[in-house]
Amino acid sequence: MPEAQRRLALVVHFHQPVGNLESVMRHATRRCYLPFLETISEHPQVPWTLHYSGCLLRWLEANAPEVTLLLRRLIITGQVEMLTGGMEEPILASIPERDRAAQIERMSNHLRSTYQASPQGLWLTERVWEPELARTLAQSGVVYTVIDDSSLLAVGVPHEQLTGAFLTDFEGETVQLFPASRQLRYLIPYGHPDSVLAEIRKGPPGGLMVYADDGEKFGEWPHTHRQVYQRGWLERFLSAVEGAQDEGWLRAVQLGQAAAVAPEGRVHVPSCSYDEMMVWALPTPARRRLETALARLRRADPMGVLPYLRGAPWQGFLAKYPEVARLQQAMLRVSQKVALAGSPPPAVEELHLAQCNCAYWHGTFGGAYLTFLRLALWQHLVRAERAANQALGTAGGVGIEVGDFDADGFDEVRLQGPWGYATVAPQLGGQLVELISWEGEANLVAVMGRHQESYHLPEEGHGPVDQELELAPSEAPTVSGGQSLEFDQLEIGALRDCLDGQWLDQPYQYRVDADGVDLWWEDERLILRKSVRVQTDGLRVTYSVGSKTSRWQGGLVVEVRSCPWAPGRKADGAALRQTSSGWVVQQPGARAVLEVSPDDAAVVDGLTLLAQGSTLKGVEAMYQGVSVQVTWPITVSEDGAWTGELTLRPRR
């Protein structure tokens, strides 16, 4: 009697983020994207379900047409089924509903018009699921998507029942959820093809097993090109699948074919992502404790509780990294303005580019620590807001607004000039947390802090939670040369004040008038005042220090963190240079820089800011910007006052 047939769906996702370096794109095309399609095209009996992010597809269409022409041929012949998604690869849970629908519509339309594809399924960015997405997807014409099998195990679905899609709904709108196999994700493309088929054969007769993962592991990630192509792993795997199909016990299918089979049952899954992402989203102390617990349970789990022990949802990154939260809140605010302006297409396209996910989180990859990715998103946000202002007839407006612009529970003060605007946060010591240049298309104080991460700490008898070969970089707790790591305890922008050796990272009192904002801090001995005024070319900042008791002698240090914006280039090699009108943080090829011009009594120094961030190649020093420190020596008589001044100017 012939062996009952198992089904296998091969789902692969390809993506490169908005703002990525040209050299990276070309390297990935040469090492991964082209050879992958060439190899699978030689095995037409093995069907695939593929997803390409819109930002990657557009680049390939313009720069590597041989890839997209081959892709189109495979779609037309039926070997490849295409998945839709958000056009610019946003985490759908992080953006407004109107943008979710618009991004999916743009992507689906592009696939139909350019590739003659009719997508019914969707690739869920970073496999971040929210229950309400069932309604979003259903209303966008999406029938099915893929999440990790661990997300179903965590709500009590037995492993032996993970043999097909499950149906979920939100307010009666339904979508099918296919569970992607964790075991296959770890085996492909590292295990021997026979081991992969043996894992599939363990499944129940008639059942479906879904492999779904990033396509870059087929040649772009470290060591994978040699494994997949030079050593022939992909060729051998495809031949093995064909052999199993000839034997009759296996049938490779596309997700669309699998979706035609009745779902296994109903399920409701809470906010989730893949296991590693949910660990990364935790605050560092909690992450360390969870990693320890997971390592112990993987060795021995007599009660079978491991599937129910999970980390934080993706939104944990918004609490973990204030710089990411500020970017996301700015995106939400600009999205609202674009909608108010009637959603003009140029503004919508720029907004969607600013919603690309990669700079909104950090795990094994650089993510939020990659300055060129983060600043690229700010550039697209500035462009979107400028286009919306033009549609609303408010371009070039000046004025002052007060409101909680970042949803932190405190009001900020926004000072608008013809050059852009600055956001002052009284609760953060009167710092500038945004300095937007319309002409430079940049937020010139968008510097990522140096956060302490789990991989900076010594191991505690266990490895990192990342079990995949490609997710286990070498980790080191110190920088090269044995220097100790330095970490920031809070978000730092510009105009951070240090008086008498004490950083004043605490709420300031403030008063707003027609020209700007006055802020002050005081204790029993001293009072510091800071006045920020809008000028035609930037901001004029005046400081004064007074003594309440006796003569006082000390110093005031004002820190200004900035990173130049050089599109398409790594943010390194920047330095503080003196010009005829002040000090400028410059970098070759920079589109936008910040000029800091203090009065003659000040001493100016600069410090390069490096964050030690995890990458697939290990922990690397990642350039974040320059800390400009303006120091005034001060002597104040009893009841007297000292004054100093500096100007901040956005420049091209």
Q: Which of 169, 214, 401, 505 is catalytic?
A: 214
Is 89 a catalytic site residue? no
Residue 580 neighbours by CB under 8 Å, 6+ apart: none
Q: Which two tokens stand for residue 408?
A: 């932190």
Which residues are CB-neighbours of 304 under 8 A, at least 6 positions away?
Answer: none
Q: Which residue matches tokens 């979920």?
A: 168
CA dist 314 → 291, 311, 323 (Å) = 17, 9, 15
Tell me how far apart the alpha carbons of residues 545 and 115 are, in angstroms, rounded to a whole number.
66
- Beta-ladder partners of 247: none
Burial class (CB in 10 A: 0-12, 13-18, 19+), 57: buried
HEC letters along 267-322: CCCCCECCHHHHHHCCCHHHHHHHHHHHHHHHHCCCCCCHHHCCCCCCCHHHHHCH
Do residues 288 and 454 lie in contact, with contact meaning Cβ atoms separated by under 8 Å? yes
Tokens of 370: 């990659």
* 349 a catalytic residue: no
The residue from 88, 89, 99, 126 that is catalytic is: 126
- In this structure, are residues 390 and 402 in contact, taking their beta carbons and an 8 Å threshold? no
Distance from chain centroid for Cα 2: 49
CA diameter of the chain: 102
CB neighbour class for 467 (10 Å; exposed up to 12, middle 13-18, buried from 19): middle
Structure-token pair, residue 535: 């000028």
Would you name the residues annotated as active-site residues?
Answer: 126, 214
